[in-house]
Structures are given as C-alpha cells and as structure tokens.
Amino acid sequence: MQVNRPQPEHLSPTQAINSDHAAIVSFAQAHALGSRARDQAVSIYRAVRDQVRYDPYRIDLSDHGMTASTVLAQGFGWCVPKAVLLAAVARAAGIPARLGFADVKNHLSTEKLRQTMKTDVFAWHGYTELWIDGAWRKATPAFNVELCDKFGLLPLEFDGVHDSLYHAFDRAGRQHMEYVKERGSFDDLPLAQIRAVFAEIYPAMDAGNPITGDFAADAAREAGRA
C-alpha cells in the first residue's frame, strides 16, 4: 500500500530486500558516504548503478535470483533486481526505501532482446524510492555508466533532490524511453505479480533460459560503437 510517510517496514528486511544480510550491510557501510542522508543516498545509488552491471539477457525470476544479496554477489542484474538491491542497501544504511514500478517503451534495445520479448514494452520496469528530506525520491540505478557509453546513452544521475527517471532521448536525440503505465509503489517485491505478467506477455523469457551472448557487446555493435 502506498503511504505518504515512511513506515517501519521501509527500514525492515524481507526475503527479497534482505537488508540484514552481512554482504548488504558491509556494502552499505562502505558506500553510504557523507554526513547527510541525501549524500549517503547519492553515494549508494552510484555504487549500485556502476558496480552491478545491467544485463537483461539473464533474467532469473526465482526467489533466490531476485534477492538483493544474490544480485550483489553475482555482480549483474536487470532493472528490478538492481532496484531491489538499492532498496536493501538503503535500508541497511538507515534510509527508508520502497520499490516503484512502471511499464516503459524502450526504443533502444538489441535484436536478440526484441526477438525474445516480441515487443518494445518493458512491463514492470523497476526503480527505487528513497525517503530523503521529507519526501520520496525516485532513483533508477539500472544502467551502469560503462553501458551508457557503449550504447550512446546519457548516464542517469541522482542528486537526492529530483526524481531520477529514464531519459526520453539518447545523446544523438533518438527516442530512448517512454513511460506508458504507472504500477505504483510497493513496500516489498511483488514477485508473484511480475511472474504472472511475464508468463503472459514474455513466454520465452519466463522459461528461465537466459539469452545467449553479451548484452553490452550486442548493444555497442548495434549502436555502431563496437
């Protein structure tokens, strides 16, 4: 349920947002830098964004695969598990956090991903909402800076004041992302709902078989940046 102010659950661990895991706690201690919550939030955002690379070829909708500590250990993830990781690290650092979701139309993908999904709409795109200075701020840590460079995208920054949402256009002025449906805010990962939608509209991805190849390399080649 969406609320205006943080509740105890926004600082509590869950099975997916396992903010009490030793590796998550250690990561938070190492990267929540600064004396203010805003500075700490920006610091952990950048750490999650850039130290865990974005990879939509390897989507794992199992309980284990969608857990924050798993994403941190494997060093890669797509938008939802990276949002889960940021929420876990934030809670471990004492910053209230929850998850937000929206359907987005991605105008820049790879041929393999398009052939698998059979659509350019990414349902249940995930981001994180952090409670900073009396308001919920949206932070999207999905695309690491290295990938942005290869794909010709503007790195998505977060300053702890303004919402950090996907850019509408890339560096060349081509359409990048369009938000087409808001799904709301959640205190925990709504994995059952995500699985149900993926099974319906992405049957090839729901099978649990990763797409072969290197997403970053494919993205760079198709963008003419290989």
Tokens of 133: 């200075």
- Can you point out the beta strands (E) in 15-120? 53-54, 76-77, 97-106
- Longest C-alpha distance within the chain, in Å? 48
Residues 6+ apart with CB under 8 A from 128: 83, 86, 87, 90, 97, 98, 99, 100, 138, 139, 140, 141
- pLDDT score recorded for residue 2: 47
Spatial separation of the C-alpha atoms in residues 34 and 207, rounded to whole Å: 43
Considering only CA atoms, which of 226, 224, 208 is closest in space to residue 57?
208
Residue 41 C-alpha from the chain's centroid: 15
Spatial separation of the C-alpha atoms in residues 96 and 40, rounded to whole Å: 12
Residue 54 C-alpha from the chain's centroid: 8
pLDDT tens, 39-50? 999 999 999 999
pLDDT tens, 81-96? 999 999 999 999 999 9
Write b or e for each residue in 87-103: b if 16 or more Cβ atoms lie within 10 A of its Cβ, otherwise e: bbbbbbbebbbbbbbbb
Q: Are 33 and 40 in contact (CB under 8 A)?
A: yes
- pLDDT score recorded for residue 184: 93
pLDDT tens, 191-211? 999 999 999 998 877 656 778
Spatial separation of the C-alpha atoms in residues 91 and 9, rounded to whole Å: 10
- pLDDT score recorded for residue 226: 52
Q: Which domains, from first to last, does the chain contain? A: 9-222 (3.10.620)
- pLDDT score recorded for residue 156: 86
pLDDT under 50: residue ranges of the chain: 1-3
Tokens of 65: 């695969």
- pLDDT score recorded for residue 79: 94
- pLDDT score recorded for residue 167: 57
User: Is residue 105 classed exposed, middle or buried when 0-12, 13-18 and 19+ CB atoms within 10 A define those classes?
Assistant: middle
Spatial separation of the C-alpha atoms in residues 68 and 102, rounded to whole Å: 20
- The H or E element spanning position 180 is strand 177-186
- pLDDT score recorded for residue 75: 97
